[in-house]
Structure 1
Amino acid sequence: MTGFIAVVLYVVWMQLLTLSYAFPRVPMALFGGRKFSDWERAEVNRDPAFMVRAKGAHLNCVENFPLFAGVVVVAALMGKSPVVDSLAMFILLARVGQSLSHLISTAPAFVLSRATFFLAQVGMIFWICFQLIV
């Protein structure tokens, strides 16, 4: 898998997470007695637990995406795409693993799993950076 394909799949994953918490809001607003404006950031969150976790998983993706996309682009500009390509699939899999852990539960084992997947991504991105500058 190339770094560019991994970036595109990462975006697809973020969009799926967005739909998982945004799409259920439409019928809730249309038929469930919730106003469309109930989802402003300043309001108390009354979403079901899964939707709260899905939004958190999406926001975690958004936090890390610029770093991953940045090293993919920089590697390509430097003519060193193979450095990223060797780890791109593993970074994407770690991201999906982190998101799934977030979606499943907030129990300590899943929080630890989530942190492990996150640290794996951070470590791989650091490794790519190191490989690009040496």
Structure 2
Amino acid sequence: MTGFTALLIFVILSLLLAMTYAGYRVPQIFLGNKKANHWERNQPVDDPAFLVRAKGAHLNCLENLPLFAALVLTAAATGQSAVVDGLAGVFIFCRLGQSAAHLIGTSLPLVLVRATLFVAQVLIMLYLAWMLMP
């Protein structure tokens, strides 16, 4: 898998996670069940637990997407795409696994899976950054 393919999968995953909870909230507004500003920050959350977890998974993607994108683009700009391509599949597998674990639940084993996959992604990105240094 190329770095660009992994980046596109990462973007698609982020958008799908956003649509998961937005897809629940928008009809609530149009049906008159909730006001559009019902979900403002510092308000109590009354979404179903799955949607709260989907939002958490989405926000976690958004925290890491720019970092991975910067590495992919740096590799491409410096003619070193092979550095990222070699680990892109592993990285995206970890990202998908972390998001899936996030969506499934919050039990201790799932939190440990999420944390392990997160650390793996961070280590991969640190390794890639090191390898891309001039």
Whether TM-score is above 0.5 comes out as yes
Where do residues 1-134 of structure 1 align in structure 2 (5 Å cutoff)?
1-31=1-31, 33-133=33-133
- State the superposition RMSD in angstroms: 1.3
Percent of pairs with identical residues: 49
Following TM superposition, the consecutive aligned residue runs of length 4 or more in structure 1 with deviations greater than 2 angstroms are: 26-33
Shift in Å at residue 32 of structure 1? Answer: 6.6
Unaligned runs of 5+ in 2: none
Partner SS, residue 38 of structure 1? coil
The CA deviation string for residues 76-121 of structure 1, in whole angstroms up to 9 with x for no partner, is: 1111000000011111111111111000001000000000110010
**TM-score w.r.t. length of structure 2:** 0.94
**Cα distance in 1 between the residues matched to 2:133 and 2:5:** 23
More displaced 10-residue stretch of structure 1: 26-35 or 9-18: 26-35
Q: Report the AA paired with residue 76 of structure 1.
A: A
Q: When the two structures are aligned, how many residues end up with a matched partner? A: 134
The CA deviation string for residues 31-53 of structure 1, in whole angstroms up to 9 with x for no partner, is: 37222221111311111111100
Partner SS, residue 34 of structure 1? coil
**Cα distance in 2 between the residues matched to 1:111 and 1:32:** 36
**TM-score w.r.t. length of structure 1:** 0.94
**Cα distance in 2 between the residues matched to 1:59 and 1:3:** 21
